[in-house]
């Protein structure tokens, strides 16, 4: 064994200290956007301890407050990681729309790698593979293509109305089932026989839940020590490996099993409209293993991307109608003026242009409580300079959707209030004909399924309003149960949901009750 001089260890420690100090000084010389200052001296290997001012719960609200102090672009530094929070529409458009080549990638996260999350378009970095996925997905979900699936929306929403009519107290379960049933029929031609017991749905729901929990920043020790991703699960502290393995198995089932169903039944599924997977198979150029894998991934992301987000928006609608009866009544008055007495006829998409207040109500639901308050984080593909500030390559950049949808300069005074009139001109017409909600994001990463989602939401909203009165639930003592109008309770999760609440749902007339009772639930 070679004997090193006794002062070698001290010399190495001194060199490391000089390196850490030099890195800290170099970093300090760069002009980052303002933000809460971390602890000044770095900890070896970990970096600097984050400021106590960084919000840990409901971060979209905390970052909106920080923007009042630091400005629209807030810099947060924690443990060798730089994060930039975008809190104004102007800054968001400047970065995500005007500089898309720089701001359209995804951050590298250890759990993304371990769970193979980048199989799906939402987790892929900006590049040729992502563009191929995006083009294929958008071909079937852009505005014109989405209209072909409106008959499916009608069928599923009518079944939903029947369930509300029969069991209104279970409205949350009916809401949970509607988007999943719609997207499974659209993409795979698969009609969910029983949402609560269906294996395809069960796996997709569990995958969504596990991904949301696992990818919460700081949820796993590997977030702080990425090198641990190379260690097996039996090493103390590496239990995340088992979790990642389970998520990979769920992902594979979500990707492969429904696709296999459509592939097996493709000759029986040449319907009008044909399921998206059948269309993609017909358009496949070579049918190679690589191409088929791409199609599995593109179709597999559909349920994960569409179900939970749509459920959140639907539950916000029911909550808003229970809290704001005057707004509900105004929407019903508009519908009745067009369709006649409740139960006279079903609303259809042909009525959409003649119901501006209902459209404004949809826009307000998405604005008032955006389903992804902090969006999905972006990452920079190159160094950039914005407003004189340095933004490094591979930096995480987060669009604070909450701040954008509650900005007074964009949406008028009192943005916390639920007020569909903010989207209408004084004469009652819509301010913008082809408005796209900020809740869907901006730039190349804007939600590609937004037109499909808006169709599902609009038809559900207008149908429920046409046939039902939604009110506050009654307690066992006969009093109305109260929900705080100023601050209704929502979950502190990536996809934010209203916390469980009760409300009364009653048919608006006996005619409505009889009409909906005649709808068949047989698929």
| Predicted local confidence at residue 156, as pLDDT | 95
Residue pair 225/238 in contact by the 8 Å Cβ criterion: no
C-alpha R_g of the chain: 25
Is the pLDDT at 402 greater than 80? The verdict is yes
More confidently predicted of 287 and 185:
185
What residue has token string 């049918």?
287
More confidently predicted of 325 and 485:
325
The pLDDT > 90 percentage for the chain reads 55
Query: Measured in whole angstroms, how far is the alpha carbon of residue 129 from the centre of its chain?
Result: 22
Q: What share of the chain is helix, strand, coil (3-state, %, to 5)?
A: 55, 10, 35
| Predicted local confidence at residue 306, as pLDDT | 78
The per-type count for the chain, helices as H runs and strands as E runs, is 19, 8
**What does each C-alpha distance from 493 to 75, 114, 230, 242 come to in angstroms?**
22, 22, 29, 23
Residue pair 193/523 in contact by the 8 Å Cβ criterion: yes
| Predicted local confidence at residue 153, as pLDDT | 95
Taking residue 427's Cβ as centre, other Cβ atoms within 10 Å add up to 6
Structure tokens at 171: 């409205």
Q: In b/e form, how buried is each residue of 183-208, taking b as 16+ CB within 10 angstroms?
A: bbbbbbbbebeebeebebbebbbebb
Taking residue 27's Cβ as centre, other Cβ atoms within 10 Å add up to 16
Q: Give 216's pLDDT tier (boundaries 50, 70, 90).
A: low
**What does each C-alpha distance from 134 to 97, 99, 171, 208 come to in angstroms?**
17, 19, 34, 20
- Long-range residue pairs from 275-282, CB within 8 A, at least 24 positions apart, any chain: 275/185, 275/186, 275/187, 275/188, 275/189, 275/190, 276/140, 276/186, 276/187, 276/188, 276/302, 277/187, 277/188, 277/189, 278/189, 279/140, 280/136, 280/140
Is the pLDDT at 95 greater than 70? The verdict is yes
User: Tell me: the pLDDT tens digits for 355-364?
Assistant: 999 999 999 9
User: Tell me: the pLDDT tens digits for 274-332?
Assistant: 889 988 888 876 678 888 888 899 998 888 777 889 999 999 999 999 999 999 999 99
Helices (H), 30-72: 59-70
Sign for the pseudo-dihedral over CA of 192, 196, 201, 202: negative
Sign for the pseudo-dihedral over CA of 177, 182, 184, 185: positive
Average pLDDT over residues 484-505: 84
The pLDDT > 70 percentage for the chain reads 86
**What does each C-alpha distance from 101 to 105, 118, 124, 375, 381 come to in angstroms?**
8, 19, 14, 18, 7
Using omega within 30 degrees of 0 as the cis cutoff, is the peptide bond preceding 226 cis? no
Average pLDDT over residues 136-152: 91
Give first-to-last CA distance, the chain, whole Å. 77
3-state SS assignment for residue 34: coil
Ligand-binding annotation for 238, yes or no, is no
Is the pLDDT at 497 greater than 50? The verdict is yes
Residues in contact with 31: Cβ distance below 8 Å, sequence separation at least 6, in sequence order:
388, 389, 390
More confidently predicted of 181 and 212:
181
Angle at 62 between CA 56 and CA 68, to 5 degrees: 150
Residue 266 CA to residue 140 CA, distance in Å, equals 17
Average pLDDT over residues 209-226: 75
User: Tell me: the pLDDT tens digits for 227-271?
Assistant: 888 998 998 888 889 999 999 999 999 999 999 998 888 877 766
Task: Establish how many alpha carbons lie within 13 A of residue 370's alpha carbon, considering only the half-sphere containing its beta carbon.
Answer: 24
Residue 351 CA to residue 353 CA, distance in Å, equals 6
Longest dimension (CA), the chain: 96
pTM for the model:
0.89
Residue 495 CA to residue 358 CA, distance in Å, equals 24
| Predicted local confidence at residue 247, as pLDDT | 92
Taking residue 76's Cβ as centre, other Cβ atoms within 10 Å add up to 25
Residue pair 232/192 in contact by the 8 Å Cβ criterion: no
Residue 449 CA to residue 245 CA, distance in Å, equals 29
Residue 144 CA to residue 486 CA, distance in Å, equals 38
3-state SS assignment for residue 472: strand
Residue 486 CA to residue 457 CA, distance in Å, equals 24
Residue pair 402/370 in contact by the 8 Å Cβ criterion: yes
Query: What are the backbone dihedrals phi and psi of residue 137, each rounded to the nearest 5 degrees, phi first?
Result: -65, -50
Tell me whether residue 130 is exposed, middle or buried, using C-beta atoms within 10 angstroms of its C-beta: 0 to 12, 13 to 18, 19 or more: buried
DSSP type of residue 159: H
Structure tokens at 110: 């250890």
Residues in contact with 297: Cβ distance below 8 Å, sequence separation at least 6, in sequence order:
119, 120, 121, 133, 255
Stretch among 2-6, 239-243, 274-278, 390-394 having the lowest mean pLDDT: 2-6
Residue 390 CA to residue 481 CA, distance in Å, equals 51
Query: What are the backbone dihedrals phi and psi of residue 124, each rounded to the nearest 5 degrees, phi first?
Result: -80, 145
């Amino acid at each position: 064994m070679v004997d090193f001089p006794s002062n070698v260890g001290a010399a190495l420690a001194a060199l490391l200290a000089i390196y850490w100090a030099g890195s800290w000084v170099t970093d300090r010389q760069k002009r980052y956007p303002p933000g809460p200052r971390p602890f000044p001296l770095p900890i070896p290997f970990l970096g600097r301890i984050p400021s106590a001012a960084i919000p840990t719960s409901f971060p979209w609200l905390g970052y909106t407050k920080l923007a009042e102090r630091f400005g629209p672009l807030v810099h947060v530094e924690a443990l060798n990681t730089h994060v930039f929070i975008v809190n104004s529409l102007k800054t968001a458009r400047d970065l995500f729309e005007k500089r898309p080549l720089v701001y359209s990638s995804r951050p590298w996260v250890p759990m993304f790698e371990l769970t193979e999350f980048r199989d799906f378009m939402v987790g892929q970095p900006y590049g040729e593979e992502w563009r191929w996925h995006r083009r294929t997905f958008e071909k079937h979900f852009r505005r014109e293509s989405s209209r072909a699936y409106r008959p499916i929306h009608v069928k599923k929403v009518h079944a939903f109305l029947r369930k509300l009519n029969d069991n209104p107290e279970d409205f949350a379960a009916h809401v949970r089932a509607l988007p999943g049933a719609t997207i499974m029929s659209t993409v795979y031609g698969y009609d969910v026989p029983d949402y609560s017991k269906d294996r395809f749905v069960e796996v997709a729901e569990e995958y969504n839940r596990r991904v949301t929990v696992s990818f919460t920043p700081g949820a796993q020790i590997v977030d702080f020590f990425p090198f641990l991703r190379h260690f097996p699960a039996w090493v103390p502290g590496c239990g995340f490996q088992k979790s990642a393995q389970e998520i990979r198995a769920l992902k594979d089932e979500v990707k492969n099993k429904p696709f296999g169903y459509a592939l097996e039944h493709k000759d029986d599924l040449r319907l009008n409209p044909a399921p998206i997977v059948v269309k993609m198979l017909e358009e496949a150029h070579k049918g190679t293993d690589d191409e088929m894998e791409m199609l599995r991934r593109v179709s597999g992301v559909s349920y994960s991307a569409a179900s939970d987000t749509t459920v959140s928006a639907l539950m916000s609608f029911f909550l808003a109608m229970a809290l704001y009866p005057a707004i509900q009544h105004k929407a019903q008055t508009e519908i009745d003026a067009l369709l006649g007495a409740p139960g006279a006829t079903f609303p259809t998409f042909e009525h959409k242009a003649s119901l501006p207040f209902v459209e404004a109500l949809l826009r307000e639901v998405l604005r008032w409580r955006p389903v992804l308050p902090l969006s999905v984080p972006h990452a920079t593909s190159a160094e950039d300079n914005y407003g004189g500030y340095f933004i490094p390559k591979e930096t995480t950049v987060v669009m604070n959707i909450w701040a954008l949808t509650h900005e007074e300069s964009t949406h008028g005074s009192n943005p916390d209030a639920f007020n569909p009139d903010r989207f209408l001109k004084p004469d009652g017409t819509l301010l913008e004909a082809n408005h796209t909600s900020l809740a869907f994001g901006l730039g190349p990463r804007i939600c590609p399924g937004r037109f499909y989602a808006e169709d599902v939401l609009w038809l559900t909203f207008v149908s429920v309003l046409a046939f039902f009165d939604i009110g506050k639930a009654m307690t066992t003592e006969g009093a109305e149960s109260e929900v705080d109008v100023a601050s209704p309770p929502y979950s502190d999760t990536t996809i934010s949901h209203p916390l469980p609440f009760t409300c009364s749902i009653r048919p608006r007339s006996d005619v409505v009750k009889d009409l909906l009772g005649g709808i068949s639930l047989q698929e």
